[in-house]
Structures are given as C-alpha cells and as structure tokens.
Amino acid sequence: MPHGGVVHMSPVDVAGLASPSPGTRGSQLLDFALDGETKVFTLTTQVARWSILPGVEVGAYTYNGAVPGPMIRVTAGDQVRIVVNNELPEPTSVHWHGLQIPNDQAGAALLDFFKPRVEPGTFGGKVVAGQVAEFQPGTVSHVRQGRFFISRLEDGGMLALWHRCTHLGCTVPLREDEGQFHCPCHSSIFTTRGEVVSGPAPRPLDIFPSRLSMVR
C-alpha cells in the first residue's frame, strides 16, 4: 500500500480460500495445449493458501496455485506461446528461471555459466565449466570456481544449479548414495534437478543461465 512514498507490505488475505489439496507440490511439469503446431502453456497468477510446514499455512502469490510455479519443458525448435492470466490484486510480471540446454555435441564444446547483470569476476560472473564430454549423463559435478553444480540429465540436458540452499543459504552437498542434495543446516533435500523433496527450503535450487560455445 503506497504511503508517503514508501511501500508497506501487508499480509495477503486468504480468508475464504480453500487449503491446498494434500500432496500439492510446486515445480511440476506444466501441460500444454496445441494451437496448430504451437505449444500453448497457461500460467495463472493467483493468491492461494500454501503449506510451508506441517500444520502451517500462509497466504501466497502463486503460479497456478503452487509455490514455486510449474516447470515448462520445451524442445529446441518448438513454437511456444505462454499465456499469463493475472488474478492477483495488482499488476505483475513473470520472473523466468532456468535454461536447460540439450546437447549431444561431443568434444570441442565448452559450457559457460553466468548470472546476468553482474560484472565479470564478481559473484555470478562468467565461468567456463569445461568440455561437454566431461559431464556424463546422470552425473553431478561441483564447479567450485563458480559455486554451482552441473547436473547432466539422463536425457542429455544440463542444469547449472547454484550450490546454496534456498532456505538460509547453506552449501548443499550431494549425497551420492541417494542421488540427492542434503542441506546440513535444516535438512532440506533437493533432487539433482534442484526440485525440493522436503523443506523447509521454500523453492528449488536456483538455476544459472548457461551457454554452450563451440570452439575450433
């Protein structure tokens, strides 16, 4: 609420809203409709009740009723349209996370990972992670210089996951015997795609933008 040039936060009114169905989770794959050859994904921003701990619900701004929002997966060459319906009580914009790069290129490809809008050499600056062939499908590699993991997916895609827990920022090591990240501070668990298996982490691990560069 604007007041004297300052914006005051106030709790979201969720009186009258139903609780989420048991088992409702964020970060799930979003279905699409086909319009000719175009894949049409629909996002609805809306206020909802959201469970953050057993027996504890809060009011939340959500995409499609969940926190975090759904995952949109497309294939290189797809025509895509994303329709955003805003049912929030105020204007909004969409903050996109993640860029998964499928690749089968061998050998002479280099992977760069970087955070946008930062200066080279500072946190999030561009980091050359190595050659694609160094990262075998189904493996997770820690790139210490960049403070992220490269998770090579079974389908050949790659994710660059920041190694900080989204709860309070502890470093999350990989439990190789379980194939999951376990936060040592308050026991949040994440999959090798960064998805939250159990909290209190409120959202998936952050995914850095990544770029594949071919070198001669």
Query: Which residues are near ligand FES by CB under 6 A?
Result: 165, 167-168, 170, 183, 185-186, 188, 200-201
Query: To the nearest whole angstrom, how small is the minimum distance from the Cβ of residue 164 to ligand FES?
Result: 8
Shortest separation between residue 199's beta carbon and ligand FES, angstroms = 7
Instruction: Please report how many Cα atoms fall inside a 13 Å half-sphere around the Cα of residue 95, on the Cβ side.
Output: 7
Residue 149: HSE in the Cβ half-sphere, 13 Å Cα cutoff: 26
* Cβ–Cβ under 8 Å, residues 165 and 199: no
SS3 content of the chain, % helix, strand, coil (to 5): 5, 40, 60
Identify how many contiguous H helices and E strands the chain contains and give both numbers.
0, 17
User: What distance in Å separates the CA atoms of residue 132 and residue 119, rounded to the nearest whole number?
Assistant: 25
Smaller CB distance to ligand FES: residue 71 or 170? 170
Closer to ligand FES at the Cβ: 6 or 53? 53
Q: Which residues, in sequence order, are bridge partners of residue 6?
A: 3
Beta carbon of residue 22, minimum distance to ligand FES (angstroms, whole number): 23
Task: State the nearest-atom distance from the C-beta of 25 to ligand FES, in Å.
Answer: 17
Name the residue nearer to ligand FES (CB basis): 26 or 65.
Answer: 26
Secondary structure element (H or E) that encloses residue 28, with its range: none
Nearer to ligand FES, 164 or 193 (CB): 164
Cα gap 48→88, rounded to integer Å: 10
Structural tokens at position 95: 């903050």
Distance, CA of 65 to CA of 26 (rounded, Å): 9
Q: Which is nearer to ligand FES, 25 or 186 (CB)?
A: 186
Beta carbon of residue 196, minimum distance to ligand FES (angstroms, whole number) = 10
Whichever of 73 and 182 has its CB closer to ligand FES, that residue is 182
Q: Are 137 and 153 in contact (CB under 8 A)?
A: yes
Taking the complex as a whole, the smallest distance from the CB of residue 197 to ligand FES amounts, in Å, to 12
Residue 121, Cβ neighbours under 10 Å: how many? 7
